[in-house]
Amino acid sequence: MANLTISNRSAADTAGDALVVALVPGDGGATLAPGHGLPRKTVAHLKSVVTDLELAGKVGEVTTLAAVPEVAAKLVVLAGVGQLAADASALEDVRKGIGGAIRSLSRKKKVAVVVPGTSVEVVSAVAEGVALGAYAVSKAGTRSTDAVAAVALVGPADAASRRAVKRAAALGEAVAYTRDLVNLPPNLLYPETFVDSLADRVKGTKVKLKSYDMKALRAGGFGGTVGVGQGSANEPRIAVLSYTPTRPKASIAFVGKGITFDSGGLCIKPANGMLTMKCDMAGAAAVAGAVLAIAELGLPIAVTGYLGLAENMPSSTAQRPSDVVTMRGGTTVEVLNTDAEGRMVLGDCIALASESKPDAIVDIATLTGAQVVALANTAAVMGNDDDFRTRVLDAASTVGEAMWPMPLPTELRPGLDSINADLAHKGGAEGGMLTAGIFLSEFVGEGIPWSHLDIAGPAYNDKAPTGYWPKGGTGFGVRTLVGLAESYV
């Protein structure tokens, strides 16, 4: 994660490997965003380049120039950020535009970024774009040093702007940790080592860690988690991260699906279907990142993260279709397809979270292929309380993570009836994303507002990098969970 600072120094006099200057669309082509403060000769040169190259200032347009007159930096990078405005969509364009520019500068040690304006909203968007873009995928088991090492924002250095930069740095560090976890190969990240990573990460923080091993899971009645993990040599775990400030204004529970590798179990996936299944723990990783960020920011909100960790493998000890297991809380569930395993660990964790009677519960999971088919890289949001679901959606919109409301139709509930158990764990082919949400709703404590985030699409980018998204784990969901906590402050 890059060291991130802000000052009102002169952009032209700021030495370093590169200076990033924003471009916005204008009549007949791009123009330099306001507030750059660059010398007249520099501006004339840049305007000439913009005209010659027919730059438009659109988001994602990144142009690198050398030998720009009267600029101390070795390179000047022109970054299209779209139309500047105060609305959520325009601020997200700033994040993407600046993030893409920073991502293009990998292996540079020191970069300066001119803030295109003076509002704290724009400062925050620029800082977040930097923090999210300054990431490089690590080789297995290491932390990459290819990302930009230090970024100095050139803009207003008032107290509000400094707080915005501090927040962006905390979010960037949390998202980077989440991405690192998702990108780790499954022979290095499995339930036990996931817990080990959490134990290392919480040292020196105000976050406490508790974990349940296989013996404790059996004793605690976590039949869903035990059933999913019993086919693997790597035993399952449930990890609980808790942050409890003095006199909290609210208490929220985050629940994350943490299937460290999903082969499908006995209902095995085709080979190509397994290629990205190391990312099936992205929900748990997002919960870990969010709890750590909330603690780092010192928000007056009590947050507990429940991470259901298991490896879904086929073996002579694996659970079978038609097995009946008893979940935390006593609900019996008939397993119909072992490749629909995520809802089982989530059900256990939601039931556990409900026992503490938090003000709200949010679960987040790479849960269904149906979400990807329906919404691609837009996450689905379901829930038992319209007001709370709207609160989650508002938080997502504010931070720039694409989410869309989906229903939980009551007419689909009979599809989860079973003659052998209280509940079948899977419905028919139609509405798979929705019946998964209905299943999870059965484990939410009475009267507790709850939302379910299906992030199967946006959690992992298996295509080319774009904006502040690298290839691989995206860290999607961390900022929404933090934004939700902030909404209670």
Cα 27 from Cα 141, distance rounded (Å) = 49
Q: For the chain, count helices (H), then strands (E).
A: 13, 20
Q: Which amino acid belongs to residue 302?
A: A
Half-sphere exposure of 216 (CA within 13 A, CB side): 8
Catalytic residue among 96, 179, 201, 343: 343
Half-sphere exposure of 398 (CA within 13 A, CB side): 18
Give the burial class of 237: count Cβ atoms within 10 A of its Cβ; 0-12 exposed, 13-18 middle, 19 or more buried. buried
Catalytic residue among 9, 47, 162, 269: 269
Distances in whole angstroms, Cα of residue 484 to Cα of each of 26, 93, 125, 407? 36, 21, 17, 20
Distance from the Cα of residue 422 to its chain's centroid? 34
Q: Which two tokens stand for residue 301?
A: 């909100």
Cα 327 from Cα 221, distance rounded (Å) = 6
Catalytic residue check, 269: yes
Cα 470 from Cα 131, distance rounded (Å) = 12
Q: Which two tokens stand for residue 471?
A: 């290839």
Cα 338 from Cα 344, distance rounded (Å) = 10
Place of tokens 């199967």: 456
**Active site residues per annotation:** 269, 343
